[in-house]
A and B are shown apart, each in its own frame.
Chain A
Amino acid sequence: MFDLHGYFPALMEGLSVTISLAFFSLFVAMGLGIFGALAKLSRNKGVQSIANFYTTIIRGIPELVLMLLLFFGGQTMINQLAAFVGYEDYIDINPYFSGVATIGFIYGAYMTETFRGAILAVHKGELEAGRAYGMSGGQVFIRILFPQMMRHAIPGFGNNWLVLLKATALVSVIGLDDIVRKATLAAGATKKTFTFYIVVAICYLILTTLSVWILNWLEKKYSVGVRTA
């Protein structure tokens, strides 16, 4: 049924780009999410409003528009900056890098909301107890807050991951050789558009299904010791 005309290796290459892009973006998003959540809960009004601005703006604009803005706009901005400091040559941004930066930046905003909720779900008394023992703020975070907030964060985190994974398909629009673009190229050459896009859909379906299994397992693991009726 699926005669891929020898394009199977190219598709798998694209798939590996998709997967690595998704993982790197996830790391960026998680880092931004944790910082954003801590900023939103900080007592400093200035830091708070920066984080609020970030999440409100990002969640009000479609991913595609943000991606085009950051990809084309970022390119222009970096070149203007470079010209400003006296660098003459034209700088071409690597689409892979800008894909990771954009997706990470967008989903950082969603992660911020997830982590903020998860941090609020940890008992304040435990954090105070940590401080009372003389732990530093960082130690309280690593030893007390993080392990406990993860349990509350996993359902939301899982949703964000699934949306992020599917959003990676958009990078084909800014010219990255992910699986969707590879399929487009192969379909253009063979006129078998349906076949190739169905293969892409199946690949995504496999990735999302695997993710759901792993997330369920993680949720169980982090909930060890929680009693339920």
Chain B
Amino acid sequence: MDFEIIFDNLGLYVEGMWLTLELVSLSLLAGFILAVPMAIMRVSKNYFIAAPVRLFVYIFRGTPLLVQIYIIYYGLGQFDAVKDSFAWPFFKEAYFCCLFAFALNTGAYTVEILRGAIAGTPFGEIEAAVSVGMSRILMLRRIILPSAFRRALPAYGNEVIFMLHGTSLASIITLVDLTGAARIVNSRYYSPYEAYLTAAVFYMGLTFTLVWLFKKLEFKWFAHLRPRKETV
């Protein structure tokens, strides 16, 4: 191990880490915003409302993220219609394509997580909401979604970790995230251990921080399920 290589390039890794964090948080945010209405459509009893969401989820969960990124980044340029459209300035940027692919991918997984959580709502709660005359929208806002989010939290925590790891694919289409920084260091010095182990340590730090944050959040959100502290 040559620690000098690591210290000399620490700045590059830190910059990479910021890009990784930026990609993770923006794609999770966009994915979540996409996922909530789609999850509501997905549990609809009307086949024609649920079916498009099912198809979307099926396609994005059934293909590798790398292939999705390639289709968006390299694939769309095949069509002149896309190249001439207003969207081309975005789709020719690796950064935007990555965010787009990540958001759709995590959105698809989040829809399934939320669907399970919504389906798990105790029916008595819905009956109670109907009996006090709540409309469907009000019921979603006050009864179904809050408890569904709570039930979805442990699974969503896993999805966040998967997305953190998934953003490493951004390095394949030239972005310099944490993995990209490691690849630059490796190609500059040909020292794979120093380059990739450093990135690995950064990723582990991020992963464990996220796991810890979600544990704390679970502790808070599931406060009502904790056994009562003995007061005597």
Contact in complex: A63, B165 (CB < 8 Å): yes
* Residue among A59, A68, A191 facing the most chain B CB atoms (10 A cut-off): A68
With contacts A60-B207, A68-B196, A76-B192 taken as known, whether A192 is within 8 angstroms of B172 at the C-beta atoms is no
CA distance A205 to B172 in the complex (A): 22
B56 close to A (CB within 8 Å): no
Q: Chain A residues near B76 (CB, 8 Å)?
A: 194
Q: Chain A residues near B200 (CB, 8 Å)?
A: 60-61, 65-66, 69
Contact in complex: B208, A60 (CB < 8 Å): yes
A169 close to B (CB within 8 Å): yes
Which residues of A, 104-155, contact B by the 8 Å Cβ criterion? none
Which residues of B, 148-171, contact A by the 8 Å Cβ criterion? 164-169, 171
Contact in complex: B203, A204 (CB < 8 Å): no
Which single residue of chain B is at the shortest CB-CB distance from A57? B204
Taking the nearest CB of chain A, how far is it from the CB of B112, in angstroms? 12
With contacts A187-B74, A192-B78 taken as known, whether A173 is within 8 angstroms of B172 at the C-beta atoms is yes
Taking the nearest CB of chain B, how far is it from the CB of A14, in angstroms? 12
With contacts A194-B79, A195-B78 taken as known, whether A65 is within 8 angstroms of B199 at the C-beta atoms is yes
Contact in complex: B62, A208 (CB < 8 Å): yes
B66 close to A (CB within 8 Å): yes
Contact in complex: A197, B192 (CB < 8 Å): no
Q: Chain A residues near B77 (CB, 8 Å)?
A: 193-194
CB-contact partner of A169 in B64, B79, B164, B165, under 8 A: B64
A167 close to B (CB within 8 Å): yes
Q: Chain B residues near A62 (CB, 8 Å)?
A: 164-168, 179, 203
* Residue among A65, A69, A73, A167 facing the most chain B CB atoms (10 A cut-off): A65
Report how many residues on chain A are interfacial, defined by Cβ distance under 8 Å. Answer: 38
Q: Chain A residues near B208 (CB, 8 Å)?
A: 60
A83 close to B (CB within 8 Å): no
B186 close to A (CB within 8 Å): yes
The dominant DSSP class at the B interface is helix
A72 close to B (CB within 8 Å): yes
Which single residue of chain A is at the shortest CB-CB distance from B192? A72
CB-contact partner of B63 in A68, A76, A166, A184, under 8 A: A166
CA distance A72 to B172 in the complex (A): 16
CB-contact partner of A180 in B70, B78, B178, under 8 A: B70
Contact in complex: B204, A61 (CB < 8 Å): yes
CA distance A195 to B77 in the complex (A): 11
B26 close to A (CB within 8 Å): no
CA distance A197 to B186 in the complex (A): 29
The dominant DSSP class at the A interface is helix
CB-contact partner of A60 in B65, B70, B203, under 8 A: B203
B29 close to A (CB within 8 Å): no
Q: Chain B residues near A64 (CB, 8 Å)?
A: 165, 168-169, 171-172, 179
CB-contact partner of B67 in A72, A173, A180, under 8 A: A180
Contact in complex: B75, A197 (CB < 8 Å): yes
B54 close to A (CB within 8 Å): no
With contacts A68-B196, A73-B193, A76-B192 taken as known, whether A197 is within 8 angstroms of B179 at the C-beta atoms is no
CA distance A140 to B207 in the complex (A): 38
20 A/B residue pairs, CB under 8 Å, sorted by A: A60-B208, A62-B179, A64-B165, A65-B182, A66-B200, A68-B179, A69-B197, A69-B200, A73-B192, A166-B65, A168-B64, A169-B66, A170-B169, A172-B66, A173-B172, A192-B78, A193-B78, A194-B77, A200-B70, A201-B59
Given contacts A61-B165, A62-B203, A170-B169, 10 further A-B contacts (CB under 8 A): A62-B167, A64-B168, A65-B178, A68-B183, A73-B192, A191-B78, A194-B77, A198-B71, A198-B75, A208-B63
- Top 4 A-B pairs, shortest CB-CB distance: A72-B192, A194-B75, A62-B165, A169-B64
Measuring CB to CB, which residues of chain B are less than 8 angstroms from any residue of chain A? 58-59, 61-68, 70-71, 74-79, 164-169, 171-172, 178-179, 182-183, 186, 192-193, 196-197, 199-200, 203-204, 207-208
